[in-house]
Homo-oligomer: A and B are copies of this chain.
């Protein structure tokens, strides 16, 4: 029996995890469609034509819609479930502001850094790794300062901005190269609040695909 939502994803994709986490926390009736990213599936013209011209994961299928970009999907699901959404115009702008910052910098640099550090083959030059680490740390600084006097990113309760920013921080330190508890205490405390949400699970417990040992740093 087919589920209501189908999420095209794989376990190592933190961008897919953002949506998987939302579906899990909202109690959605959903299933995964495994995308074999490591075998090059998203880079084929066929996949791009049939699923996502941007060549990216996640893609969510629901009620005849095929949606891509995690920020679009999270907004769609917030409307559908009336959970984790913004209330009013000011909050809506604040949520979008952090979604954009997240995609560009917070998640953007952390995801690239983790990839280069742990999985990319061949591994890019060490200077590329250092460049992304510095950019990621600058973004972490902004977020850690922002969270110094608030519990959640964009409102007085968790929103899709929090779920988006949770995309990569819960992967193991051996993959990401960051241990927030020792470097960014406000981010670490916010992570504790996110992981206490009903329905929260780790990325590798929510999405399909073989676990891959990260390259030794």
- Give residues in A with beta carbon < 8 Å to B: 53-55, 67-69, 71-72, 75-76, 93, 96-97, 99-101, 103-104, 108, 124-125, 127-128, 131, 142, 145-146
A122 shortest CB reach to chain B, Å: 12
Q: Determine the residue in chain B with the shortest Cβ distance to A70.
A: B100
Separation of A67 and B72 alpha carbons in the complex (Å): 21
- Specify which chain B residues have a CB less than 8 angstroms from the CB of A131 in the assembled complex: 124-125, 128
Q: For the complex formed by this chain, how many copies does it contain in all?
A: 2
- Specify which chain B residues have a CB less than 8 angstroms from the CB of A54 in the assembled complex: 101, 142
Q: Is the CB of A142 within 8 A of B93?
A: no
Q: Is the CB of A72 within 8 A of B100?
A: yes
Q: Determine the residue in chain B with the shortest Cβ distance to A95.
A: B72
A97 shortest CB reach to chain B, Å: 5
Q: Determine the residue in chain B with the shortest Cβ distance to A112.
A: B135
Q: Determine the residue in chain B with the shortest Cβ distance to A90.
A: B65
Picked from B71, B101, B124, the residue with its CB within 8 Å of the CB of A96 is: B71
Separation of A55 and B139 alpha carbons in the complex (Å): 10
- Specify which chain B residues have a CB less than 8 angstroms from the CB of A100 in the assembled complex: 69, 71-72, 99-100, 103
Q: Is the CB of A142 within 8 A of B53?
A: yes
Q: Is the CB of A96 within 8 A of B72?
A: yes
Picked from B67, B97, B124, B142, the residue with its CB within 8 Å of the CB of A127 is: B124
A56 shortest CB reach to chain B, Å: 8
A131 shortest CB reach to chain B, Å: 5
